[in-house]
Chains A and B, each alone.
Chain A
Amino acid sequence: MEFIPIGYYLFFCTALFCIGVTGVLIKRNALMILMSVELMINSINLLLAAFSTYLNDPAGQIFVFFIMVVAAAEVAIGLAIIVVIYRTTHSIDIDILNKLKW
């Protein structure tokens, strides 16, 4: 059986990660930023799983499960915060959230 070479995974994951970073940087919608962050996390997960198979070490895949659980919890909190922000400001545009400064 032919495996997909590890280099492909690397390029793919880097691309996914960069898309995530770009999304975080250029989007003004809080929901979109949260999704971009998720994209970054998932690119890392994929990379971990790929290396785990490549090195024949199941530890990487177990890590992935843990990260997924933590990420799910984190997303729940992030969404809750965004909901609260929406209730108070009727907007999820991060540019109007500039009250926290000196």
Chain B
Amino acid sequence: MDLLITLIPFFPLLGFLILGLGFDRIPKKLTSIIGSGTVFLSFASSIIIFFHLLSKPVLTTSNQIVIDLFNWISFHGFTVSFSFLIDPLSVVMLLIVTGVGFLIHIYSIGYMKDDPGYNRFFAYMNLFIFFMLLLVMGSGYLTMFIGWEGVGLCSYLLIGFWFKNQEFNNAAKKAFIMNRIGDLGFLLGIFLIFLTFGSLDYLDIFSRAQGMHPGMSVMTAITLLLFAGAVGKSAQIPLYTWLPDAMAGPTPVSALIHAATMVAAGVYMVARSNILFALAPVTLVIIAVTGLATALFAASIAIYQNDIKKILAYSTISQLGYMFLGLGMGAFTGAMFHLITHAFFKALLFLAAGSVIHAMGGEQDIRKMGGLSSSLKKTMWIFLIGTLTIAGIPPFSGFFSKDEILSAVFIQSIPLWIIAVAGVMMTAFYMFRLFFLTFKGKFRGSEEQKQHLHDSPQVMMIPLMILAVLSFIGGVINLPAFIGGPAWLYSFLAPVFAGSVSLMKVPAITPGPVIEWLLTGISLVCVGIMIFFAWSRFLKREPEIREARVQKAFLPRLLSHKYYIDELYDVLFVRPLLSLSRGFHEIIEKRIIDKLFDGIGNLVIRAGNTIRYLQNGHVGFYVFMMVAGIIAILFFNLVL
């Protein structure tokens, strides 16, 4: 069992090494087998470990498996071992990463078929899976940090996968730099943890944190710094701007890295450190507010976007906002539940969008689509399932996970709940706008595109169907109690969150089945209204007529320009920094450093020019100088 756990991350690493070193010499068929096969091996091992863990009694520490690989750093009583921690939380993440990752690898075989960088693509994807597994399985903050940085690197490499396009390179750099801002916070948080607890191992830290009192300022500082890392990685306000640009990468990358797994790392990290966060109520409030603000903000931007992938990107940001809202409310299980269902349905939506883009010959503008339901029938149904799931229509899984978070919000604050429901309404609106504009109405593309419309090949459709089934039935893992479900995920994850639940004194009173049904009813009615609204705006009338009018009004213009946030950051940070560096270049670099080094060079040249006259070729002179030198040495040695 231990060996199996150890092997999980190393299968993809092996795949990366083979594909990365073999590069173009490996035939495409073999690349597909190695690339997705290694991930499948990890997936299979994860399933075995999952069932192994399931057979152990719940609510004890017996379902934690720690595996020490080797002692990594040790000096002066400070030891960091490179080890893995397997517990319910990390097993759930393992299944998501390897399972969804495997499906997306399969899909990529079809999607990237004609790309010249086929082998490179799979090498990077395998490397990503390796780092993501390291992040999830690490038993301490340092191991997590390696994975954390590694997935950032892979994200950079894959966003800029088509590196011949300078804009894509810029998007990759933007993602990397924005993440770096958050990572600095994370790193400082790790330092502070070490300073406070003298260890970086989860189990050490958490058992020591159990005995602390909530509200200590050092805990607030630690959690705020950790949250800064999560803000960067999970694209929350104010560091979210990289995620929409990250859509420059191939669509499977958007699905795997920028929707299902990597961006959820922030949520996982907060859930993993739940005890630390439970000790800092101030941070929890900040997390909840940030999450809610991001959820609304991104959803409102998504309403006026026209790029199919950008809409999904903003929707990802918004859904991540909901997860953070859940975390901030102390509903850790709810957030993890939403993370799981989101991984299913967002991967599904991205891959379906990839199929649409594939069929449209690379077109991503939904204004040029429309009426695709007739020729892309299967894709349409799959996309509809994704849309219904994200909009929160029962019995799709998104309904249960979103409801979980919303009811946690309702218990603590009704005004916040109203705002959150407004966000859910916007989600339903922009998703159905996307669906109607893409698949219904009349086709608005060129004649040539119309000829090529077709459903994707089997290798792409099968992962889509599996994901569609998962999105549909994913809710069963945590059916809420009020409809008679066993809330399995709750009891499974309970040992991980037990400490913080007792610390936070979350009001134990559930709203009761009547109010639960009522809340569900209200949000459902709201969503229904929004779907109808979207239908009446985008399907009943011709969308073109509307386009011209939209650009004039103030709010639509603000939203379609994404609140001018990119421009604001440009003015506030990018330009001042650029002019500062230009100033440094002009003054320090050119006037001081360049002058200094030029001066040293000139000095040597001039000295040489002067001294060369000593070497005049007269042997007598040399002999004389030699004797003079010897006399001088003797003089200094003997006399002085």
Min distance, Cβ B384 to any Cβ of chain A, angstroms = 87
Cβ of A28 and Cβ of B615 under 8 Å apart?
Answer: no
Q: Which of A8-16, A56-64, A72-80, A92-100 contacts B (4 or more CB under 8 A)?
A: A92-100
- Residues from chain A with a CB closer than 8 A to the CB of B624 are 25
From B615, B616, B619, contact of A94 by CB (8 A) = B619
Min distance, Cβ A85 to any Cβ of chain B, angstroms = 11
Cβ of B617 and Cβ of A98 under 8 Å apart?
Answer: yes
1/0 per residue, CB under 8 A from A, across B588-626: the answer is 000000000000000000000000100111111001100
- Residues from chain A with a CB closer than 8 A to the CB of B616 are 98, 101
Cβ of A28 and Cβ of B627 under 8 Å apart?
Answer: no
Min distance, Cβ A37 to any Cβ of chain B, angstroms = 10
**Total A-B residue contacts, Cβ distance less than 8 Å:** 28
* CA–CA, A24 and B616, complex, Å: 18
Cβ of A102 and Cβ of B615 under 8 Å apart?
Answer: yes
A71 at the interface (CB under 8 A from B): no
The number of chain A residues with a CB under 8 A from chain B is 13
Within A1-40, the residues touching B (CB, 8 Å) are 21, 24-25, 28, 33
Cβ of B617 and Cβ of A101 under 8 Å apart?
Answer: yes
* CA–CA, A30 and B465, complex, Å: 101
- Residues from chain A with a CB closer than 8 A to the CB of B627 are 21, 24-25
- Residues from chain B with a CB closer than 8 A to the CB of A101 are 615-617
- Residues from chain B with a CB closer than 8 A to the CB of A98 are 616-619
Cβ of B619 and Cβ of A97 under 8 Å apart?
Answer: yes
* CA–CA, A95 and B624, complex, Å: 13
* CA–CA, A25 and B616, complex, Å: 17
Cβ of B623 and Cβ of A95 under 8 Å apart?
Answer: no
- Residues from chain A with a CB closer than 8 A to the CB of B618 are 94-95, 98
* CA–CA, A102 and B612, complex, Å: 7
Cβ of A25 and Cβ of B615 under 8 Å apart?
Answer: no
Min distance, Cβ A23 to any Cβ of chain B, angstroms = 11
- Residues from chain B with a CB closer than 8 A to the CB of A21 are 627
* CA–CA, A21 and B612, complex, Å: 26
- Residues from chain B with a CB closer than 8 A to the CB of A97 are 617, 619
Chain A residue nearest to B611 (CB atoms) is A102
* CA–CA, A95 and B617, complex, Å: 9
Min distance, Cβ A31 to any Cβ of chain B, angstroms = 13
* CA–CA, A21 and B619, complex, Å: 14
* CA–CA, A97 and B616, complex, Å: 11
Cβ of B623 and Cβ of A25 under 8 Å apart?
Answer: yes
- Residues from chain A with a CB closer than 8 A to the CB of B612 are 102
1/0 per residue, CB under 8 A from A, across B618-638: the answer is 111001100100000000000
* CA–CA, A24 and B626, complex, Å: 11
- Residues from chain A with a CB closer than 8 A to the CB of B619 are 94-95, 97-98
Cβ of A28 and Cβ of B617 under 8 Å apart?
Answer: no
Within B273-317, the residues touching A (CB, 8 Å) are none
* CA–CA, A94 and B619, complex, Å: 6
1/0 per residue, CB under 8 A from A, across B162-192: the answer is 0000000000000000000000000000000
Min distance, Cβ A36 to any Cβ of chain B, angstroms = 10
Chain B residue nearest to A102 (CB atoms) is B612
Cβ of B617 and Cβ of A24 under 8 Å apart?
Answer: no
* CA–CA, A101 and B616, complex, Å: 6
* CA–CA, A87 and B493, complex, Å: 101
Min distance, Cβ A77 to any Cβ of chain B, angstroms = 16
Chain B residue nearest to A22 (CB atoms) is B627
Min distance, Cβ B613 to any Cβ of chain A, angstroms = 8
- Residues from chain A with a CB closer than 8 A to the CB of B615 are 101-102
Cβ of B617 and Cβ of A94 under 8 Å apart?
Answer: no
* CA–CA, A100 and B612, complex, Å: 12
Chain A residue nearest to B621 (CB atoms) is A98
Min distance, Cβ A18 to any Cβ of chain B, angstroms = 11
- Residues from chain B with a CB closer than 8 A to the CB of A95 are 618-620
Cβ of A99 and Cβ of B617 under 8 Å apart?
Answer: yes
* CA–CA, A100 and B623, complex, Å: 15
Min distance, Cβ A54 to any Cβ of chain B, angstroms = 21
Chain A residue nearest to B630 (CB atoms) is A21
* CA–CA, A102 and B608, complex, Å: 11
Chain A residue nearest to B626 (CB atoms) is A24
* CA–CA, A14 and B627, complex, Å: 15
Q: Which residues of B contact A (CB under 8 A)?
A: 612, 615-620, 623-624, 627
Interchain residue pairs with CB less than 8 A apart (17):
A24-B627, A25-B620, A25-B623, A25-B624, A25-B627, A33-B623, A94-B618, A95-B618, A95-B619, A97-B619, A98-B617, A99-B617, A100-B617, A101-B615, A101-B616, A101-B617, A102-B612
Q: Which residues of A contact B (CB under 8 A)?
A: 21, 24-25, 28, 33, 94-95, 97-102
Other contacts beyond A21-B627, A94-B619, A94-B620: 9, CB < 8 A: A33-B623, A95-B619, A98-B617, A98-B618, A100-B617, A101-B616, A101-B617, A102-B612, A102-B615
Of all A-B residue pairs in the complex, the 10 with the closest CB atoms, nearest first, are: A98-B617, A101-B617, A94-B619, A102-B612, A101-B615, A98-B618, A100-B617, A102-B615, A101-B616, A24-B623
